[in-house]
Amino acid sequence: MKGNWWSSTPLPSSAKARRWRWWKSSNLSKASLYLTALSMWFFTSCTDLVDLTPLSLETYPAQSDSIIDCEDSLWIRFSLPMNPDRTEPLFSVKDEENAPVALDTEWKEENALLILIPREPWKRGARYRLIGEGTAKSERGTRHPIHLNIPFFAGSSDLPLTLLWVSPQEGNSVGLTTPLVFHFSRSLNPTSFEAHFSLSPSSEYEISFNQDNTEVTITPSVTWEGLTTYTWRTGKEVTDTEGISISHEYEGSFRTLEDTTPPSVEGLYTTSKETPDPSSRMPLEMLDNERGILIRFSEAMQQEKLEQLITLEPSLDVDIIPLTPSTVFLSPQQLWEPEGTYTLTISGDITDISGNTMGEEFHHTFTIEGIPAQRLESVTLQSEHESYTYTQPDWGSETFLPAVVGIDSTLTVILTFSQPFTEEEAQRLVDAVSLEPFFPYYLSNPECVRVTSLPDSKQVTFEFHEVEGVDSDDPGYLEYWYLLKIKGGPRYFINETGSYLLEDLTIRLSLREM
């Protein structure tokens, strides 16, 4: 009886061999199936692995701080077709305040091009950032890290319009006719200002602009309401002439009083002549040739006849410029005298806008400490083998400096000053320094053949030829006299800080031969 393969009946050896071959073949087939399934699972799972091949991107804008049109859309082009659901959320645009910009999106070129469309035009002059951050996924399932941050401007890269100063300042009390004055960083669009300026409580007023539209004056049609606090605002919609919006909304307030208080001088300061700042608090001790005097009054002043009401002694040509209703700038048109002392006088007749006079005359005396006077500290006289150095607290015509002239009739004069000067400034000393014969009458005029100085040095060296000294064997004369003259004042020799000799110097040299 033939047994089945599951039977426990012993089988002949030939049957056992056939059964073994079948079992082996069957198990190899099963192993092959298991390996195939495992391979399919492995490669399927590998599709989510990060692809080490870099994903290349092209963007618009392509470079940082590019300027795009206010109507332009942005785009990102990928080197692979992408999965929109897993890629699009990684990209955004943020404005200057780091707030997200509302965008619509569109995919093209078989999901290789993502277009970002602003729902409203870009704000002209604003700076935005195109940002991409995270892991993008392609259509075939590969993942790619994205790190993108490209700042760009819309329409223009100019800085936004800003309010530099306003008068009256925040919370100040003013007269009933005091104007409200705004000064902006550049020309604004008058129509946009008129449309987006507000004053509360409501009042009748007139708006005027200066010639270049950088200054706005709000004047009450009659007067402000007395004992009232007014609040003003300029909206973010105010733009300059190029359409660039103001940096942010501004707001302030001022209070009106029934003004019967005389005005006074609140302080004296200094500020740049080139760009005077009415809010400067730099002390007057810092005054130099690049600066003028800032007078700050306690309230807005009438600006007529200021030239007759404000004077400076010793007299100096100055331009008197009102910067704000309560500040006046004195811009000198001449150099300050180094270490000079001046007196500023403001007449008691000067009047505020409510008609109150100051009453008592104002005086202030000050010294130009920021510009040291140039001084001659020493004179060195050299010949071939002799050298003499002299120092004097006060050089004058009665000063006698003995020295020896070389056998070749040469004399080197080294002048050491208290303040440094450049090589170019040292060359100007050629016109200010001279050596002249004085006694006896027949001495010839020396010739200056060389002038040398090191950069930023305090020394200048002059080499004179044809200089004679008395012969010790000559019984007729005891000495030969020459006059070393140095001209003072700003005309001949002044360094870049404004230092110069305050007066002419004449020094007598007594020369003999070696």
Tokens (6 digits) for 283? 């002390």
> For the chain, which residues score pLDDT lower than 70?
1-53, 157-158, 258-259, 396-399, 472-477, 514
Closest CA to 341 of 374, 312, 376: 312
Q: What is the pLDDT of residues 381-438, one digit of tens each?
A: 998 878 999 988 777 666 678 888 877 889 999 999 999 988 788 778 888 999 999 9
* This prediction's pTM: 0.47
Q: How far apart are CA 51 and CA 189, in angstroms?
A: 54
Q: Counting beta carbons within 10 angstroms of the beta carbon of residue 426, is it exposed (0 to 12), middle (13 to 18) or buried (19 or more)?
A: buried
* Whole-number pLDDT of residue 52: 59
Rounded CA-CA distance 322/327 in Å is 6
| 470 touches 511 (CB < 8 A) | yes
Please give the pLDDT value at position 396: 65
Q: List b or e across 361-385, with b for residues whose CB sees 16 or more CB atoms inside 10 angstroms.
A: ebeeebebebbebbbbbebbbbbee
The two most distant CA atoms of the chain are separated, in Å, by 171
Q: What is the pLDDT of residues 100-143, one digit of tens each?
A: 999 999 999 999 999 999 999 988 778 899 999 999 999 999 99
CATH of domain 163-256: 2.60.40.3710
- Dihedral of CA atoms 15, 20, 26, 29 in degrees, nearest 10, equals -140
Q: How far apart are CA 440 and CA 511, in angstroms?
A: 12
Identical fold between 57-154 and 266-367: yes
376-513 carries CATH number 3.40.50.9100 = no
Supply the pLDDT for residue 293.
97
Confidence at residue 243, expressed as pLDDT on a 0 to 100 scale = 82
What is the H or E stretch that residue 200 is in? strand 197-200
Tokens of 439: 């006694």
Domain positions in the chain: 57-154, 163-256, 266-367, 376-513
Give pLDDT, residue 33: 43
Is domain 57-154 classified as CATH 3.30.420.40?
A: no
pLDDT at res. 31: 47
Mean per-residue pLDDT over the chain, rounded:
85
CATH code given to domain 266-367: 2.60.40.3710
Percent of residues, the chain, with pLDDT higher than 90: 50
Edge-to-edge order in the sheet of strand 74-78: 57-60, 74-78, 113-118, 103-108
pLDDT of 14 reads 52
Give pLDDT tens digits for 362-383.
Answer: 999 999 988 998 999 999 999 8
469 to 388, 397, 465, 503: CA distances (angstroms): 15, 20, 12, 29
